Amino acid sequence: MELWKDIEGFEGVYQISTKGRLKSFKKLREGFILSNKNSKKDYLSVVLTHKGRVRYARIHKLVAEAFIANVNNKPQINHKDGNKQNNKVENLEWVSGSENVIHAISIHPNMLKGMNKYNKFIRPNAIQQYNLNGELLAEYPNAQEAFRLTGVCGRNILQVASETEYKPGLTRKQAGGFIWRFKERKGKVQCTSRLSVRHQGQMAMF
């Protein structure tokens, strides 16, 4: 049985279901289901708008927030079967950053090969953590320690710090809601509070 719930902050305008489907009530009183297909097999994301308010969110996060209690206040959501587009409630679970990485490696062992590309950055380089306004928050001896203490994926931290492309032509501006830089790198940290990485599969809302 498919259940529907209002999305917090957009009550009466958008609903999300246990099957990961999104419904809009902006044009029709009875609502209409919005398409969420993505041929590139990436996370599905949406843009919710109402009376000047805008929220960018991924479908799986909307499902988890609506239907799965986060009793341990874990920060990330895992797809149990490894399929980023299977956003049914039974396929999702709240996890810590380390739990998410461990599960991803168990599903996709080749991820280790990708992580090894960044090993040269791990030991010798201290990592600094900034908020999105460019203010220094903390410093760690390496990306592994930053991951251990913050739960933010070490690979993503290194991709931000080294400005390495995670996909052809795309680089991460932030990871886990923070800017990351090698301590030895010179130059002012740019404020990224208004910048975001564009994700494939984003849907325009009506």
Q: Which residues of 103-131 are buried (b: 16+ CB within 10 A; e: fewer)?
A: bbeeeeeeeeeebeebeebbeebebbbbb
At 38 the pLDDT is 61
Q: From the CB of residue 40, how many other CB atoms can be counted at a distance below 10 Å?
A: 11
Query: pTM value?
Result: 0.57
pLDDT for 204 beyond 50: no
At 196 the pLDDT is 39
- CATH number of the domain located at residue range(s) 117-182 in this protein: 1.10.10.10
At 166 the pLDDT is 74
pLDDT for 81 beyond 60: yes
pLDDT for 126 beyond 80: yes
Residues 6+ apart with CB under 8 A from 121: 142, 143, 158, 161, 162, 182
From CA 155, how far away is CA 159, in angstroms rounded?
A: 6
3-state helix, strand, coil in the chain (%, to 5): 25, 25, 50
Residues linked to residue 55 through DSSP beta bridges, in sequence order: 48
From CA 102, how far away is CA 126, in angstroms rounded?
A: 24
Q: Which residue has the higher pLDDT, 36 or 71?
A: 71
Most confident of 41-50, 64-73, 111-120: 64-73
String of DSSP letters for 58-119: EHHHHHHHHHS--TT--SEEEETTS-TT---GGGEEEE-HHHHHHHHHHH-TTHHHHHHTTH
Q: Which residue has the higher pLDDT, 98 or 129?
A: 129
* Whole-number average pLDDT of the chain: 81
pLDDT band with cut points at 50, 70 and 90 for residue 72:
very high
At 130 the pLDDT is 94
At 48 the pLDDT is 92
At 88 the pLDDT is 97
Report yes or no: 82 and 99 within 8 Å, Cβ to Cβ: no
Range 92-120 average pLDDT: 71
DSSP, collapsed to helix, strand or coil, labels residue 161 as: helix
CATH number 3.90.75.20 given to 4-109: yes
Q: Residue ranges per domain, the chain?
A: 4-109, 117-182
Write out the two tokens for 121. Answer: 């950055």
At 202 the pLDDT is 38
Q: Which amino acid is at 4?
A: W
Range 96-121 average pLDDT: 66
| 25-56 pLDDT tens trace | 987 777 778 876 665 667 898 889 999 999 98
| 135-154 pLDDT tens trace | 999 998 888 888 888 888 88
